[in-house]
Chain A
Amino acid sequence: MADLEAFRSETRAWLEANCPPEMREPVRGEDDIYWGGRRATFKNDAQKAWLEACIAKGYTVPMWPKQYGGAGLSPAEAKVLREEMGRINARPPLSSFGIWMLGPALLHFGTEGQKQRFLNEIARGEIRWCQGYSEPGSGSDLVSLQTFGEDKGDHWVVNGQKIWTSYADHADWIFCLVRTDKADKYQGITFMLFDMASEGVTTKPILLISGSSPFCETFFDNVSVPKSYGDDCPAQVGTINRGWDVAKYLLGHEREMISGADGGERAAAIGAMMKRHAAKLGDDLDPVLRAELANFDVDALAYAAMGEKFLDEIKVGKAHPAQPNMMKYAGTELNKRRHELMMAVGGSRSLEWESEATEKGKPARNWLRTKANSIEGGTSEVMLNVIAKRILDLPGA
């Protein structure tokens, strides 16, 4: 405990010295988030300085081992870091699917060569990854996927189509589920890594009801994927044809990420903020809306405690392995409710789609965006199925 308190004061001092004031402001838009990658640009010097300081300290991925670009923090130390960053509202220095999803899969299934190369690139924000999972005919029933990799000896030739590939148009590399054996549904999928700049890869953004295009269709037309990227660095993670094990492991991390278990906006109460917002619009909350906000805040604050408990437990292996499904279900349903209430408080103002006052329709666009929360990464209905089967052990589930 004494060590932890020493670590806390050390961390506090380090943050004070290294986190620029601009990086302590709330994230207001997509361009406030630094995703990294070959084509990334910094919004300002503060964003760059903050990232560089964190890379040097291993704080873009605090719990990863030092040799892979992390800081090797224990769960307890990582919690202290999170709390101290939260205390000054420090923004995450780097956001990426590499950190949240591929990294954990590589730490678990990767070869030493893969870890050395890919984890360090992720930790430094050099390569931006996207995830190739869903296909037009394979949504909730993901394991039916058809994108095929033909074995050509020293390389694969990949053909097929992915959909809902988040930010595929901005990504440098993809981690992709590819069928390599048509005879075996579950044990015929390989988890492949390849460069999005390869010949035959095209992406097409999908316009959503929110008016933005975070997701893409991704097409593979005779894409040649080498089987090896060098010594001890194969193109696939885990064993060939056993990619479903990796995919399932990784889905846990994706669901954890979407759940908003790590606090922040999704776990926060909104009532007081909504009262101020209403006042700014010249209104007061009507009593029924106030009551709905109060009930929401109860659920949100309780969920925040659940998020804290879940993260504490997962770090020491105490959480049920299927618990991320529960977090994903509860967190996304809560977030949809949050935005329904925010729209209700905003009234007709929140309907505006392009006005300056709404920063080009932010409330409405954000509200619509949340509707995907309970679909992407596994629908709420699939989450409930998984809870029934793996946690409650209900028959035939």
Chain B
Amino acid sequence: MPLYHNEDQAMLADTARGFLAEEGNIAKQLRHWRDRNCKDGFGHGLWKQMAEMGFTGMLVEEADGGLGMGHVEAGIVLEEIGRNLTPSPFLTSSVLAATALKHGSADLKGRYLPGLIAGDSVFAVAIDETAKHRPSRITTRAEKSGNGFKLSGSKSFVIHGGSADMIVVAARTSGGDEDADGITLFAVPRDVAGLSHDHVRLVDSSMATHTRLDGVELDGDAVIGEIDGGRAVLDAMLIAGRVGAAAEGVGVARGAMDMTVDYLKQRKQFGRLIGEFQALQHRASHLYSEVEIARAATIKAQQLLDGGSAHADLMASVAKAKVAKTARLAVQEGVQMHGGIGMTDEYDIGLYMKRDRALAEFLGDANFHANRVAELSGY
């Protein structure tokens, strides 16, 4: 398979680019909701529109009412989401939760997928328990209780946790905190007794929660996949989420780079366009090179994942790490090359810097994934 978009994918990219530039742009979405102190941090109207575009259920299998597309296609939408800094529950709902639900019972699919596909439901995932991503350690407990389970523990960095109609929670049903086995995933509906949130607005104006589970009682049918065998589903979710976050990060990097290169062609100092200065040209060219490479790594990871390759896991971490470093470079060069106005709230380049920070942290930062590349490679 060639490592570029085929005709259908190129068409989808055109559609997604046009739609998100028009409806998901910074003025219409990010600034609009931010300036109104929106409790969700995103617009439900756009989410509904994304459903009409067929985006929300792209990864859901056709038999379940979705489009049965792959991660290359989801990545196309995510790249445009990144480029426009569009606040949306796409990554947590349509990628992460949708991947978990693939492993769910027919009953769970029937309960949640139609709402996702229609853009009526929003889902979140609760994995992290500390300030850094460390999915190898799960201490939230789920104890057998009657026909079901009783969950206790706390989760953090639950993106859209406060808006979610359902949260996929990773909990421990057996074993010690660091054990690979003994994990079970649960679909936890909103408003269940014992579930509470501490809402936090993040640097990029997105909303997350610290979520407490105080003896949350769930029926056995809330289990996604196998009891004690949730690690495989969790890993599948993480790979999909990381590849998706990488794609969004590519969009952030490209958006910041394009905006900066445009600025170099407009801003005059010393009687010249600043883009004429070689000191800036070389930095812009280096950035271009890094962004191209990060994007190639991301598309490679998407293709491997769609092809069911055993290397998808390694390449997902390569892509996540590479994109995190590259988007970081893009936003730092972006603010610096914009000079003083780069520091103002009025100018969008700073918003890219904020988004990059939050997105890079989600599902593991560059250091986490570089370390993972080393571990997966055997050193």
A interface with B by C-beta (< 8 Å): 75-76, 79, 269, 271-272, 274-275, 285, 290-291, 293-295, 297-299, 301-303, 305-306, 308-310, 312-313, 316, 318, 323, 326, 329-330, 381, 383-385, 387-388, 391-397
On whether the beta carbons of A384 and B281 are closer than 8 Å, the reply is: yes
Q: Given A294-B373, A298-B322, A384-B281, are A305 and B379 neighbors across the interface (CB < 8 Å)?
A: no
Residue of B nearest to A312 (CB): B2
Give the CA-CA distance A392 to B288 in the complex, in Å: 8
Lowest 9 CB-CB distances: which A-B pairs, in order? Answer: A302-B297, A305-B300, A396-B276, A387-B285, A388-B281, A275-B379, A306-B296, A309-B3, A294-B374
Chain B residues near A301 (CB, 8 Å)?
Answer: 297, 314-315, 318, 373
| Closest chain B residue, CB of each to CB of A297 | B373
Asked if B46 is at the interface of the complex by the 8 Å CB criterion, the answer is no
| Contact B293 A298, beta carbon cutoff 8 Å | no
Q: Closest approach, in angstroms, between the C-beta of B244 and any C-beta of chain A?
A: 17
| B377 and A305 contact, CB distance less than 8 A | no
Cβ-closest chain B residue relative to A274: B379
B327 within 8 A of A: no
B344 within 8 A of partner (CB): no
Beyond A302-B293, A387-B289, A388-B284, 11 additional contacts (C-beta under 8 Å) are A271-B374, A275-B379, A294-B371, A294-B374, A298-B322, A298-B325, A299-B322, A301-B297, A309-B296, A396-B272, A397-B281
CB distance from B299 to the nearest CB of A (A): 7
Known: A298-B322, A301-B373. A312 touches B285 (CB 8 A): no
Residue ID in chain B nearest A393 by CB atoms: B265
Q: Is the CB of A396 within 8 A of B322?
A: no
- Nearest chain B CB to A290's CB is how many angstroms away? 6
Q: Contacts A294-B373, A298-B369, A301-B373 given: A385-B379 contact, CB under 8 Å?
A: no
Chain B nearest CB from A255 CB (Å) reads 13
Q: If A312-B2, A330-B289 touch, does A291 touch B370 (CB 8 Å cutoff)? A: yes
Given A293-B374, A302-B319, A381-B282, A392:B379 Cβ within 8 A: no
Residues of B whose CB lies within 8 Å of any CB of A are 2-4, 261, 264-265, 272-273, 275-276, 278, 281-282, 284-286, 288-290, 292-294, 296-297, 299-300, 314-315, 317-319, 321-322, 325, 366, 369-371, 373-374, 377-379
Q: List 24 A-B contacts (CB under 8 A).
A: A271-B373, A271-B379, A272-B379, A285-B379, A290-B379, A293-B379, A295-B321, A295-B370, A298-B321, A302-B294, A302-B297, A302-B319, A305-B293, A305-B297, A306-B297, A312-B3, A323-B292, A326-B288, A384-B281, A387-B285, A388-B285, A395-B265, A396-B276, A397-B281
Give the distance to chain A from B145, nearest Cβ to Cβ, in Å: 43
Closest to B5 in A: A318
Q: Which of the residues B276, B299, B300, B373 comes within 8 Å of A395, measured between beta carbons?
A: B276
Please, how many angstroms separate the alpha-carbon atoms of A291 and B369 in the complex?
11
Interface of chain B, main secondary structure: helix
* B282 and A306 contact, CB distance less than 8 A: no
Chain A residues within an 8 Å CB radius of B315:
301, 305
Give the distance in Å from the alpha carbon of A275 to the alpha carbon of B379 in the complex.
6
Whether A330 pairs with B275 at a CB distance below 8 angstroms is: no
Q: Can you name the residue of chain B whose Cβ is closest to the Cβ of A394?
A: B275
Bound complex: CA of A326 vs CA of B314, how far in Å? 25
Of all chain B residues, the one with the shortest Cβ separation from A386 is B285
Min CB distance A191 to B, Å, is 28
On whether the beta carbons of B284 and A394 are closer than 8 Å, the reply is: yes
Q: A272-B379, A302-B294 are in contact. Are A309 and B288 (CB under 8 A)?
A: no
User: A312 to B290, alpha carbons, bound, how many Å?
Assistant: 19
Q: Which residues of A contact B296 (CB under 8 A)?
A: 302, 305-306, 308-310
Structural contact, A394 and B378, CB atoms closer than 8 A: no
The answer to whether A396 and B273 have CB atoms under 8 Å apart is yes
Assess whether B292 is in contact with A306, with CB atoms less than 8 Å apart. Answer: yes
Query: Please, which residues of chain A bring their CB within 8 A of the CB of B366?
Result: 298
How many Å from the CB of B96 to the closest CB on chain A? 23
Question: Bound state CA distance, A75 and B1, in angstroms?
Answer: 11
Which residues from A are CB-within-8-Å of B379?
271-272, 274-275, 285, 290, 293
Chain A residues near B300 (CB-CB < 8 A)? 305, 308-309
Alpha-carbon distance between A275 and B3 when the two chains are bound, in angstroms = 31
- In the bound complex, do residue B299 and residue A305 qualify as a contact, i.e. CB atoms below 8 Å apart? yes
Select from chain A the residue with minimum beta-carbon distance to B314.
A301
B289–A394 CB distance below 8 A: no
A302-B294, A395-B273, A395-B275 known; A269+B377 contact, CB < 8 A: yes
Question: Which residue of chain A is the closest to B272 with respect to CB atoms?
Answer: A396
Closest B residue to A310 using CB positions: B296
Give the nearest-CB partner of B290 in chain A. A330
CB-CB < 8 A to B281: which residues of A?
Answer: 384-385, 388, 392, 394, 397
| A contact residues around B319 at 8 Å (CB) | 302
Distance, CA A353 to CA B379, complexed state (A): 29
In the complex, what residues of A have CB within 8 A of residue B282's CB?
381, 384-385, 388
Q: Which residue in chain A gives the minimum CB-CB distance to B371?
A: A294
Nearest to A318 among chain B residues (CB) is: B4
Q: How far is the CA of A291 from the CA of B374 in the complex (A)?
A: 8
Q: Which residue from B261, B265, B278, B318 sits with its C-beta under 8 Å from A302?
A: B318
User: A274: which B residues are within 8 A, CB to CB?
Assistant: 379
Q: Which B residues touch A305, using CB under 8 A?
A: 3, 293, 296-297, 299-300, 315, 318
> CA–CA, A295 to B369, complex, Å?
9
Contact B289 A326 (CB under 8 A): yes
Q: Is the CB of B322 within 8 A of A271?
A: no
A394 close to B374 (CB less than 8 A): no
B331 CB to closest chain A CB, in angstroms? 18
Q: For residue A249, give the distance in angstroms from its CB to the closest CB of chain B.
A: 21
**Can you name the residue of chain A whose Cβ is closest to the Cβ of B324?**
A298
Contacts of B373 in A (CB 8 A): 269, 271, 294, 297-298, 301
Whole-angstrom CA separation of A76 from B1 in the bound complex: 8
Q: Which residues of chain A are near B278, meaning CB under 8 Å? A: 385, 397
Contact B369–A76 (Cβ < 8 Å): no
Q: Which residues of B contact A295 (CB under 8 A)?
A: 321, 370
Report A119 CB to chain B, min CB distance, Å.
Answer: 26
- Cα distance, A391 to B288, chains bound together (Å): 9
Bound-state CA distance A76–B297 (Å) is 20
How far is the CB of B60 from the nearest CB of chain A, in Å? Answer: 26
Cβ contact within 8 Å between B318 and A298: yes
Q: How far is the CA of A76 from the CA of B2 in the complex (A)?
A: 8
Report the separation of the CA atoms of residues A323 and B273 in the bound assembly, to the nearest whole angstrom. Answer: 25
- The smallest C-beta distance from B157 to any residue of chain A, in angstroms, reads 23
Closest Cβ of chain B: how far from A385's Cβ, in Å?
7
A144 to chain B: closest CB distance in Å? Answer: 19
Q: How far is the CA of A308 from the CA of B301 in the complex (A)?
A: 13
Q: Are B297 and A290 in contact (CB under 8 A)?
A: no
User: Are A326 and B374 within 8 A (Cβ)?
Assistant: no
| B-chain residues with CB within 8 Å of residue A303 when the two chains form the complex | 293
In the bound complex, what is the Cα–Cα distance between A29 and B373 (angstroms)?
A: 30
Cα A272 to Cα B378 in complex, Å, equals 6
Q: Judging by beta carbons under 8 Å apart, are A394 and B3 in contact?
A: no
Which residues does chain B contribute within 8 Å of A323, judged by CB atoms?
292
Closest to B374 in A: A294
A297 touches B377 (CB 8 A): yes
